[in-house]
């Protein structure tokens, strides 16, 4: 089998890791963006090879040649238009010397730098000839395939693809979308996917422009033609800090999205502008986790679970006794013996907690077992929930369930926050990934996402066995009870079930569902997760109005409000009647499943805590 055939087979098989940014690495070595990076194949070959080698060490299985701008139009800006062949051939030789026989080398071909739609036909012919000149040199030098990347103009990408396809090696065509999710000529991902598939390329993809979240959104909308998919995001958008450009997306954030990309069916993932060997190492780790090619752990640290060999007996720190669930306070004692009712009360905007505490007192008088306190729900700026949890436990006398999201804290921040909570006797946690900042009032706030909810559960599980994340004994063990979330109506339901299994294996002791309005949807999930043998609190959010129902159905991810339920709310009319109808709908859901769940998790709308008591009145209380 020739190497180009092997490369195509590898792409089609999936789980393939491309390398990271060449330009970023060169910039970090002190080479300015005003230089011709492609010409460095001739004048600084050792520097180029060293960058290839560090990406190999990080886990890259595909090296892209340092030839992105090595067409005659871009080279002419630096006076090197007469050295197209020489620069491209040298780029392949350097990459091949680093790669040896075990790693693929693909020729990187970028756009011409011209606005195609403004050019007369004869100039378009010149652009086509420039792509042919570059592809000839790359293929003659022995690349395993060609990757056409960062094309914002689909018609220019078509010119390059038509030329590249005639060279007898696999061709990957990658487009770059703007932040609105469209190309320069206004096409959306679905349109671009069909257009590229019609060109006859071997794989299609998205690269550059945006970070992992944006690329994930675009590439998952390009699956319809059935071609292999390639995703190569930037490390976010660059910021200028002290005169230098910096990219803010961390390797840990890349790992989260790389896993999502692979699980969504993307065949190959790599890094574009701003990515480093650490980003590629994180992507490679995610690839191994998803593909199962190698055994890996979710996070470093003693005794953490090997994700593909299944749960094993976890290591416990010397002198430590792990606290069983039933001994982790009032909630742990009640699980499995008493129907638990937990109601959400959140920190209000501003400084005063009195309204929230009054709500908690009302709920305690009504027989509620626990209070849930969200962690910046809907990515809104509010007081940290640890303060309200403490006040609820000390002033009201109810156990609090403190939500912990991976959005706002890095690994060190999580450890500090958790240890502080434990010292203050806030031991009940709801571990979730958290809403991204773009959903809230401050869409430009940075999201951290050093890990996701599964990784955070692993971290807490290790602490419950007496270890910090690095495997160092804590001198004791925490006694956190860990709940986690689930979406019965998740769009990718199979992935949701798989993640819930991973959460259980990582230490989750309780599941709290998103609000459900369709009994059939909840019945399906309860049946499917029964083998996990984990208690479930069914999520209930009494609808406040028809407008509220339409908003939840159309604008909140993971929420489904069936048409007949929305119609009931529409017919209810006035605000007061609408609230009564919303309570009635929630009561019907609870009554249908009360004998199959461990409890209810009620989220009263707009802080109307009395509605929660109306939901459970006469059914479980």
Q: What is the pLDDT of residue 309?
A: 30
Q: Which residue has the higher pLDDT, 8 or 450?
A: 8
Cβ neighbours of residue 487 under 8 Å, at least 6 residues apart?
496, 513, 514, 558
CATH of the domain at 483: 3.20.20.220
The reply to whether 382 and 253 lie within a common domain is no
Q: Which residue has the higher pLDDT, 53 or 447?
A: 53
Neighbours of 580 (CB within 10 A): 15
Residue 304 confidence (pLDDT) above 60:
no
Choose the final residue of a domain: 268, 291, 314: 291
Distances (CA, A) of 316 to 291, 301, 431, 468, 482: 29, 12, 22, 12, 18
The reply to whether 252 and 370 lie within a common domain is no
pLDDT in tens, 34-44: 789 999 999 99
**Whole-number Å distance between alpha carbons of 207 and 229:** 11
Q: What is the pLDDT of residue 24?
A: 85
Q: What is the pLDDT of residue 293?
A: 37
Q: Helices 493-506 and 453-464 meet at what angle, rounded to 10?
A: 10
Beta bridge partners of 373: 402
Cβ neighbours of residue 243 under 8 Å, at least 6 residues apart?
none
In a domain, 211, yes or no: yes
For 19-23, 198-202, 606-610, which range has the lowest pLDDT when averaged over its residues? 606-610
Q: What are phi and psi of 483, to 5 degrees?
A: -100, 165
**Whole-number Å distance between alpha carbons of 487 and 586:** 17
pLDDT in tens, 72-123: 999 999 999 999 999 999 999 999 999 988 899 999 999 998 888 778 888 8
Cβ neighbours of residue 515 under 8 Å, at least 6 residues apart?
539, 540, 541, 552, 559, 603
In a domain, 38, yes or no: yes
Q: What angle do CA 7, 152, 131 make, to 5 degrees?
A: 60
Q: How confident is the model at residue 468 (pLDDT cuts 50, 70, 90)?
A: confident
Q: Using the Cα atoms of residue 79, residue 83, residue 86 and residue 89 in order, give the sign of their dihedral.
A: positive
Q: How confident is the model at residue 380 (pLDDT cuts 50, 70, 90)?
A: low
**Mean pLDDT over residues 437-443, rounded?**
58
Token duo for residue 282: 């994180």
The reply to whether 249 and 357 lie within a common domain is no
The reply to whether 254 and 384 lie within a common domain is no
Cβ neighbours of residue 475 under 8 Å, at least 6 residues apart?
466
Q: What is the pLDDT of residue 379?
A: 53
**Mean pLDDT over residues 503-515, rounded?**
94
pLDDT in tens, 307-323: 333 333 458 888 899 99
CA dihedral 284, 286, 287, 290 (to 10 degrees): 160
**Mean pLDDT over residues 284-296, rounded?**
57
Choose the final residue of a domain: 291, 312, 338: 291
Q: What is the pLDDT of residue 406?
A: 83
Q: Helices 575-593 and 563-572 meet at what angle, rounded to 10?
A: 140
Neighbours of 242 (CB within 10 A): 5
CB 522 within 8 A of CB 497: no
The reply to whether 482 and 533 lie within a common domain is yes
In a domain, 26, yes or no: yes
Length of the chain: 621
In a domain, 583, yes or no: no
For 166-175, 250-259, 439-448, 531-540, which range has the lowest pLDDT when averaged over its residues? 439-448
The reply to whether 169 and 223 lie within a common domain is yes
In a domain, 79, yes or no: yes
The reply to whether 202 and 331 lie within a common domain is no
Choose the final residue of a domain: 242, 276, 291: 291
Q: Which residue has the higher pLDDT, 464 or 308?
A: 464
**Total domains, the chain:** 2
The reply to whether 147 and 265 lie within a common domain is yes
CB 251 within 8 A of CB 410: no
What SS3 state is found at 312?
Answer: coil
**Mean pLDDT over residues 345-374, rounded?**
93
Residue 207 confidence (pLDDT) above 50:
yes
**Pairing mode of beta strands 536-540, 510-515:** parallel
CB 455 within 8 A of CB 469: no
Furthest-apart CA atoms within the chain: distance in Å? 85
Domain that holds residue 486: 325-541+597-606
pLDDT in tens, 480-495: 999 999 999 887 888 8
Q: What is the 3-state secondary structure (H, E, C) of 79-111?
A: CCHHHHHHHHHHHHHHHHHHHCCCCEEEEEECC
| Helix or strand run (H / E) with residue 485 | strand 481-486
pLDDT in tens, 590-608: 999 999 999 999 999 888 9
Percent above pLDDT 90 for the chain: 64
Q: Which residue has the higher pLDDT, 350 or 189?
A: 189
| Beta-sheet strands, E only, within 254-310 | 268-269
Residue 219 confidence (pLDDT) above 60:
yes
In a domain, 306, yes or no: no
The reply to whether 285 and 331 lie within a common domain is no
Q: What is the pLDDT of residue 290?
A: 58
In 3D space, the residue among 98, 455, 103, 59 whose CA is nearest the CA of residue 270 turns out to be: 59
**Pairing mode of beta strands 340-344, 229-232:** unpaired
**Mean pLDDT over residues 220-232, rounded?**
95
The reply to whether 387 and 434 lie within a common domain is yes
Q: Using the Cα atoms of residue 378, residue 379, residue 383 and residue 384 in order, give the sign of their dihedral.
A: positive
In a domain, 548, yes or no: no
Q: What is the pLDDT of residue 33?
A: 66
**Mean pLDDT over residues 570-589, rounded?**
92
Q: Helices 493-506 and 519-529 meet at what angle, rounded to 10?
A: 50
The reply to whether 253 and 336 lie within a common domain is no
Residue 502 confidence (pLDDT) above 70:
yes
**Long-range contacts at 305-312 (CB < 8 A, ≥ 24 apart):** 305/458, 305/505, 305/506, 307/502, 310/505, 311/505
The reply to whether 446 and 522 lie within a common domain is yes
| Tokens 């930037």, located at residue | 234
In a domain, 251, yes or no: yes
CATH of the domain at 242: 3.20.20.330
Beta bridge partners of 343: 371, 602
């Amino acid at each position: 089998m020739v190497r180009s055939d092997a490369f195509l087979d590898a792409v089609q098989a999936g789980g393939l890791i491309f390398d990271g940014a060449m330009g970023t690495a060169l910039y970090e070595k002190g080479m300015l963006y005003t230089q011709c990076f492609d010409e460095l194949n001739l004048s600084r070959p050792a520097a180029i090879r060293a960058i290839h080698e560090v990406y190999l060490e990080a886990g890259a299985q595909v090296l892209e040649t340092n030839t992105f701008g090595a067409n005659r139009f871009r080279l002419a800006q630096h006076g090197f238009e007469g050295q197209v062949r020489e620069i491209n051939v040298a780029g392949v030789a350097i990459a091949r010397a680093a790669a040896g026989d075990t790693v693929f080398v693909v020729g990187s071909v970028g756009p011409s730098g011209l606005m195609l739609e403004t050019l007369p036909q004869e100039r378009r012919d010149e652009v086509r000839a420039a792509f042919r000149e570059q592809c000839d040199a790359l293929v003659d030098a022995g690349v395993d395939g060609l990757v056409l990347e960062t094309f914002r103009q689909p018609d220019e990408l078509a010119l390059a693809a038509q030329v590249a396809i005639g060279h007898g090696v696999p061709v990957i065509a990658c487009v770059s979308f703007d932040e609105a999710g469209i190309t320069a000529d206004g096409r959306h991902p679905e349109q671009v996917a069909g257009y590229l598939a019609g060109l006859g390329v071997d794989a299609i993809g998205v690269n550059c422009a945006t970070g992992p979240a944006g690329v994930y959104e675009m590439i998952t909308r390009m699956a319809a033609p059935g071609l292999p998919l390639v995703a190569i995001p930037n490390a976010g958008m660059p910021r200028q800090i002290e005169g230098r450009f910096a990219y803010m997306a961390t390797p840990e954030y890349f790992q989260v999205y790389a896993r999502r990309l692979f699980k969504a069916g993307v065949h190959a993932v790599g890094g574009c502008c701003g990515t480093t060997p650490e980003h590629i190492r994180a992507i490679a780790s995610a690839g191994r986790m998803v593909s199962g090619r190698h055994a890996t752990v979710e996070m470093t640290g003693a005794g953490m679970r090997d994700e593909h060999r299944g749960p094993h007996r976890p290591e416990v720190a010397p002198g430590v006794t792990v606290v069983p669930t039933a001994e982790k306070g009032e909630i742990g004692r009640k699980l499995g013996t008493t129907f638990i009712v937990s109601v959400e009360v959140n920190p209000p905007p501003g400084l005063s907690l009195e309204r929230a505490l009054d709500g908690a007192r009302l709920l305690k008088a009504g027989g509620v077992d626990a209070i849930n306190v969200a962690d910046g729900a809907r990515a809104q700026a509010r007081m940290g929930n640890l303060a309200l949890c403490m006040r609820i436990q000390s002033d009201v006398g109810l156990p609090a369930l403190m939500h912990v999201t991976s959005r706002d804290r890095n690994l060190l921040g999580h450890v500090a926050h958790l240890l502080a909570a434990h010292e203050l006797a806030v031991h009940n946690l709801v571990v979730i990934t958290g809403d991204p900042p773009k959903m809230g009032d401050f869409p430009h706030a940075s999201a951290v996402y050093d890990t996701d909810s599964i990784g955070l559960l692993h971290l807490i599980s290790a602490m419950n066995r007496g270890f910090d994340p690095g495997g160092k004994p804590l001198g004791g063990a925490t006694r956190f009870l860990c709940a986690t979330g689930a979406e019965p109506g998740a769009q990718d339901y199979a992935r949701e079930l798989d993640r819930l299994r991973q959460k259980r294996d990582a230490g989750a002791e309780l599941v709290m569902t998103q609000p459900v309005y369709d009994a059939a949807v909840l019945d399906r999930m309860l049946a499917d997760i029964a083998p996990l043998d984990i208690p479930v609190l069914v999520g209930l959010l009494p609808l406040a109005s028809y407008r509220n129902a339409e908003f939840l159905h159309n604008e909140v991810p993971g929420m489904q409000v069936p048409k007949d339920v929305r119609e009931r709310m529409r017919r209810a009319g006035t605000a007061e009647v609408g609230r009564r109808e919303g309570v009635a709908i929630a009561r019907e859901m609870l009554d249908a499943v009360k004998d199959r769940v461990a409890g209810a998790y009620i989220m009263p709308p707009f802080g109307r805590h009395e509605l929660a008591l109306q939901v459970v009145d006469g059914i479980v209380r």
